[in-house]
């Protein structure tokens, strides 16, 4: 009996110890570090210095703004596209469903670095995308050298990679909606459009919330794409919080400041998640 | 009686007539709809697939061929040249080995750690269980970057920078994997555990011989999820690894783009080599892959 009582602790122990060492400790340590600065090789208490510097740091606010723009444009575009594709793929008339599903999911299995590099080559001034555009009469777009288009490049690349992934999530959820809900609605005279907004969307709410939270955390931590696709430029136009943490920490070796930025991200993820839960949980 | 039958017959006739009348335009409408759907899907198909094709074109052609107008749309004969050049720049076999080794080892250890924790969290009652589970869940909301700097200092203090250990250790306890595995373990029938207990099996024996074998699909999905996490991991290896011979694939690839002269044929070869094995892996294990990558959140 005693042995049986000890068993759960024994089996959970490796996970708990690793969790304490590599998650709990670092979270506390970086919180402490965010109130410290390095003076002659030693970290000493600096009060709110890192945070006041953060408040007055233009690059930080630029990174915030960039992240916000990317988030506000990319997530809705991707979710709407994924929704449309999932609905089409869910149609009874369609053949080759499996083929389309796998093809659309394919971008999601590529490594983040590999696809970022691939897009950085395709989006060059004389790259294949501008060449293709020239055939439909669009003059070369300065994808990577113009602040506006650099952001667009990141949004396009991310949408390419993640739409199919979200589509598969929505598709799985769509197949769980009971068919008789639609039958009852169409007997009541609701058209396809109304059915979509009054049945499909509310039924998919938890899944949209799930995809939304994943995308929120993902966008706030955005690093691989700006690092490999645009390098944060031109002129910080694609600087993200993730990239700024990396640069402050491992290019300028300002660990205290980097920790302060990281904690700003923690707070934002928390706030945004609460907002999303509030929006979704009003019923 | 006969009258009744007549009425029924009439009404069914009417119905079929009405259906017939309706059927024709509906068929036309369906056809139109199908055309519209296939057109939309084909456009998306081209967008999804073309970059993969272009990657292959790049890997088999000379660097300059990627920027010509009209574009080069056929594979060239530079495959071996690009491969040799890539190998000279980053030591492709070593890098592939590093990535496979790190990801493989990570999957084995992380799966053991996460599955055993998930199992007791799902199937046992013990003091502190709720607290532990809540802590795991909450930590999923914390961005990885918030732990980056103390982790780096820790590895540096223990002289573990530039080691495989440093790459895999921080994420061995992966709360998301624990959460998903727990959901699956919850569905395992407790009566089976009880009867094994009556037969005198130890708790560990029950887990290893009875529970694990019946959880294969869930474990396969979790393995794929963990493998992809480690295979794609970039920021952390970039921070802790600092010599070419220790680089994982993403770090090595990224370093190619930092050179003063970029040979795009070489880079595309690297991108291809980083992508093709995963695609092959994905196509053979589609089902497990998709449920693994979606975190089997929706079964």
Give me the CATH number covering residue A251. 1.10.3720.10
Identify whether residues A63 and A42 lie together within a single domain.
Answer: no
> Do A10 and A84 have their domain in common?
no
Name which of A229, A216, A217, A220 is nearest A112 in CA terms.
Answer: A229
Q: Distance between CA atoms of B175 and B117, rounded to whole angstroms?
A: 10
Residue A21 has pLDDT above 70, yes or no: yes
pLDDT at position B8 is 45
Same domain, A32 and A155: no
Average pLDDT of chain A is: 88
pLDDT for B29 beyond 80? no
Write down the pLDDT at residue A201.
Answer: 84
Q: Determine the average pLDDT of the residues in A143-162.
A: 93
Q: Do A18 and B173 touch (CB under 8 A)?
A: yes
Residue B5 in this model has a pLDDT that exceeds 50: no
Token reading at A120: 């950085």
Mean predicted confidence (pLDDT) in B249-255: 94
Which residues of chain B lie closer than 8 angstroms to A91, CB-CB? 33, 37
- Cβ separation B253–A114 shorter than 8 A: yes
CB contact under 8 A, A19 and B173: yes
Interval B71-99 mean pLDDT: 89
Instruction: Say if CB A280 and CB A204 are below 8 A apart.
Output: no
The C-alpha atoms of residue B202 and residue B205 are separated, in whole angstroms, by 5
Nearest-neighbour CA in chain B from A14: distance (Å):
6
At residue A249, the pLDDT reads: 92
SS3 at position A43: strand
| Cα gap A105→B20, rounded to integer Å | 40
Do A244 and A191 fall into the same domain? yes
Which chain A residues are closer than 8 Å to B124 by Cβ?
7-8
Q: Are B136 and A12 in contact (CB under 8 A)?
A: no
Token code pair at residue B6: 């007549």
DSSP H or E stretch at residue A45: strand A42-45
Phi first, then psi: what are they for A110, rounded to 5°?
Answer: -75, 150
pLDDT at B25: 59
According to the model, what pLDDT value does residue B225 have? Answer: 86
Predicted TM-score of the model (pTM): 0.86
The pLDDT of residue A281 is: 64
* Mean pLDDT computed over B177-205: 88
Q: Which of B201-215, B220-234, B236-250 has the highest mean pLDDT?
A: B236-250
In a domain, A52, yes or no: no
Q: What residues make up the domain containing A1?
A: 1-46
Q: Does A239 reside within a domain?
A: yes
| Within-domain flag for A20 | yes
% chain B with pLDDT above 90 = 46
Q: How far is CA B278 from CA A66, A151, B162, in A?
A: 32, 28, 25
**Residue A71 falls within a domain, yes or no?**
yes
What is residue A139's DSSP assignment?
Answer: P
Give the pLDDT of residue A177.
84
Q: Which of A59-73, A180-194, A195-209, B57-71 has the highest mean pLDDT?
A: A59-73
B9 or B175, greater pLDDT: B175
Examine residue A220 and state whether it is found in any structural domain, yes or no.
yes
**What does the alpha-carbon distance between residue A279 and residue A209 come to, in Å, rounded to a whole number?**
9
Q: What Rg, from alpha-carbon coordinates, does chain B have? A: 28
Alpha-carbon gap: B9 to the closest alpha carbon of chain A (Å)? 24
Residue A51 domain-assigned?
A: no
Helix (H) / strand (E) element for A239: namely: none
Q: Which of B251, B248, B239 is nearest to B153 (CA)?
A: B239
Question: For position A82, what pLDDT does the model report?
Answer: 92
User: Based on the domain organization, do A69 and A42 belong to the same domain?
Assistant: no
What does pLDDT average to over chain B? 85
Euclidean distance between CA atoms B123 and B108, whole angstroms: 22
**Chain B contact set for A249 (CB, 8 A):** 148-149, 152, 239
Backbone angles phi, psi at A190, to 5 degrees: -80, 130
Report how far residue A256's alpha carbon sits from residue B88's, in angstroms, rounded to the nearest whole number: 39
* Residue A232 and residue A96 in one domain: yes
Residues A68 and A32 in one domain: no
CB pairs under 8 A between A and B: 263
- Residue of chain B with shortest Cα separation from A273: B141
In chain A, the residue whose alpha carbon lies closest to the alpha carbon of B69 is: A131
> How large is the angle between the packed helices A147-174 and A112-122, nearest 10 degrees?
130
**Is the domain of A65 the same as that of A118?**
yes
Look at residue B24 in the predicted model and tell me its pLDDT: 54
Q: Which two tokens stand for residue B260?
A: 């003063």
Interchain CB contact of A228 with B (< 8 Å) = yes
* B186's tokens: 């919850």
Interface of A with B in 71-110 (CB under 8 A): 84-85, 88-89, 91, 93-94, 100, 102-110
Same domain, A169 and A262: yes
Decide if A89 is inside a domain: yes
Query: How many domains are contained in chain A?
Result: 2
- Cβ of B150 and A110 within 8 Å? no
Q: Which of A4, A220, A249 sits opposite B149 (nearest CB)?
A: A249
Q: Which residues on neighbouring strands pair with residue A43, listed in sequence order?
A: A38
Residue A113 in any domain: the answer is yes
**Mean pLDDT (whole number) for B257-283:** 89
Q: What is the pLDDT of residues A114-140, one digit of tens each?
A: 999 999 999 998 889 999 999 988 888
Are A164 and A271 members of one domain? yes
Band the pLDDT of B297: cuts 50, 70, 90. very low
Q: Do A128 and B66 touch (CB under 8 A)?
A: yes
Whether the pLDDT of residue B96 is over 90: the answer is yes
pLDDT of B100 above 60: yes
Residue with tokens 């024709």: B24
**Same domain as A85, residue A18:** no
Of B37, B150, B278, which is closest to A94 when you measure between CB atoms? B37
pLDDT at B164: 95
pLDDT score recorded for residue A215: 81
Token pair of A118, please? 């691939």
The β-bridge partners of A45 are A36
Q: Which two tokens stand for residue B125?
A: 């009652």
Report how far residue B187's alpha carbon sits from residue B197's, in angstroms, rounded to the nearest whole number. Answer: 18
Q: Where are the alpha helices (DSSP H) in chain A?
A: 2-19, 25-33, 49-55, 58-89, 97-105, 112-122, 128-135, 147-174, 179-187, 192-195, 201-220, 224-225, 241-250, 255-280
Closest Cα of chain B to A107: distance in Å? Answer: 7
Are A34 and A61 in a shared domain? no
Taking CB atoms and an 8 Å limit, are A11 and B117 in contact across chains? yes
> In this structure, what token pair is assigned to residue A40?
């002659």
Is the pLDDT assigned to residue B53 strictly greater than 90?
yes
How far apart CA B260 and CA B145 sit, in angstroms, is 29
A34-51 average pLDDT score: 88
Closest CA to A42 of A248, A261, A258, A256: A256
What is the Cα–Cα distance from B79 to B95, expressed in whole angstroms?
Answer: 19
Mean pLDDT score, A170-177 = 85
Q: Which residues pair with A44 in a beta bridge?
A: A37
Q: What is the 3-state secondary structure (H, E, C) of chain B?
A: CHHHHHHHHHHHHHHHHHHHHHHHHHHHHHHHHHHHHHHHHHHHHHHHHHHHHHHHHHHCCCHHHHHCCCCCCCCCCCHHHHHHHHHHHHCHHHHHHHHHHHHHHHHHHHHHHHHHHHHHHHHCCCCCHHHHHHHHHHHCCCCHHHHHHHHHHHHHHCCCCCCHHHHHHHHCCCHHHHHHHHHHHHCCCHHHHHHHHHCCCCHHHHHHHHHHHHCHHHHHHHHHHHHHHHHHCCHHHHHHCCCHHHCCHHHHHHHHCCCCCCCHHHHHHHHHHHHHHHHHHHHHCHHHHHHHHCCCCCC
pLDDT at B160: 94
């Amino acid at each position: 009996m005693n042995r049986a009582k000890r068993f759960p602790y024994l089996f959970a122990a490796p996970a708990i110890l690793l969790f304490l060492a590599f998650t709990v400790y670092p979270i506390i340590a970086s919180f402490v570090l965010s109130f410290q600065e390095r003076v002659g090789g030693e970290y000493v208490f600096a009060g709110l210095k890192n945070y006041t510097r953060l408040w007055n740091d233009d690059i930080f606010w630029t990174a915030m703004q960039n992240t916000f723009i990317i988030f506000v444009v990319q997530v809705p575009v991707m979710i709407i596209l994924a929704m449309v594709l999932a609905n089409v793929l869910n149609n009874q008339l369609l053949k080759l469903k499996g083929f389309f599903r796998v093809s659309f999911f394919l971008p999601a299995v590529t490594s983040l670095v590999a696809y970022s590099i691939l897009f950085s080559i395709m989006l060059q001034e004389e790259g294949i995308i501008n060449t293709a555009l020239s055939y439909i009469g669009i003059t070369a777009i300065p994808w990577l050298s113009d602040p506006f288009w650099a952001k667009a490049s990141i949004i396009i690349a991310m949408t390419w990679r993640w739409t199919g992934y979200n589509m598969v999530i929505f598709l799985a959820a769509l197949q769980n909606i009971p068919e008789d809900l639609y039958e009852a609605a169409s007997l009541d005279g609701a058209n396809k459009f109304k059915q979509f907004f009054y049945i499909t969307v509310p039924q998919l709410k938890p899944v949209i919330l799930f995809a939304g939270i994943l995308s929120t955390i993902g966008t706030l931590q955005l690093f691989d794409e700006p690092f490999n696709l645009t390098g944060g430029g031109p002129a910080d136009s694609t600087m993200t919080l993730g990239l700024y943490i990396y640069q402050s920490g491992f290019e300028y070796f300002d660990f205290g400041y980097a920790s302060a930025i990281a904690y700003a991200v923690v707070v934002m993820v928390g706030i945004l998640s609460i907002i999303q839960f509030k929006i979704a949980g009003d019923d | 009686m006969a009258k009744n039958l007549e009425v029924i017959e009439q009404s069914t006739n009417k119905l079929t007539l009405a259906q017939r009348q309706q059927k024709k335009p509906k068929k036309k409408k369906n056809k139109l709809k199908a055309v519209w759907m296939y057109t939309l899907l084909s456009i998306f198909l081209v967008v999804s697939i073309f970059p993969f094709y272009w990657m292959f074109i790049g890997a088999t052609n000379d660097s300059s061929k990627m920027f010509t107008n009209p574009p080069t749309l056929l594979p060239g004969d530079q495959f071996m040249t690009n491969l040799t050049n890539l190998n000279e720049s980053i030591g492709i076999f070593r890098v592939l080995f590093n990535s496979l080794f790190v990801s493989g080892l990570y999957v084995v250890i992380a799966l053991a750690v996460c599955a055993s924790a998930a199992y007791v969290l799902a199937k046992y009652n013990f003091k502190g269980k709720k607290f532990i589970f809540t802590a795991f869940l909450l930590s999923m909301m914390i961005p990885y970057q918030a732990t980056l700097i103390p982790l780096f200092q820790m590895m540096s203090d223990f002289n573990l920078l530039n080691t495989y250990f440093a790459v895999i250790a921080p994420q061995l306890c992966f709360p998301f994997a624990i959460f998903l595995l727990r959901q699956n373990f919850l569905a395992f029938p407790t009566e089976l555990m009880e009867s094994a207990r009556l037969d005198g099996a130890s708790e560990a024996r029950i887990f290893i011989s009875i529970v694990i074998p019946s959880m294969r699909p869930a474990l396969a999905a979790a393995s794929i999820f963990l493998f992809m996490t480690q295979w794609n991991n970039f920021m952390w290896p970039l921070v802790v690894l600092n010599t070419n011979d220790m680089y994982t694939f993403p770090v090595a690839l990224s370093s190619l783009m930092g050179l003063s002269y970029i040979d795009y044929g070489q880079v595309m070869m690297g991108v291809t080599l980083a992508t093709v094995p995963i695609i092959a892996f994905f196509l053979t294990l589609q089902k497990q892959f998709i449920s693994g990558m979606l975190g089997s959140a929706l079964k």
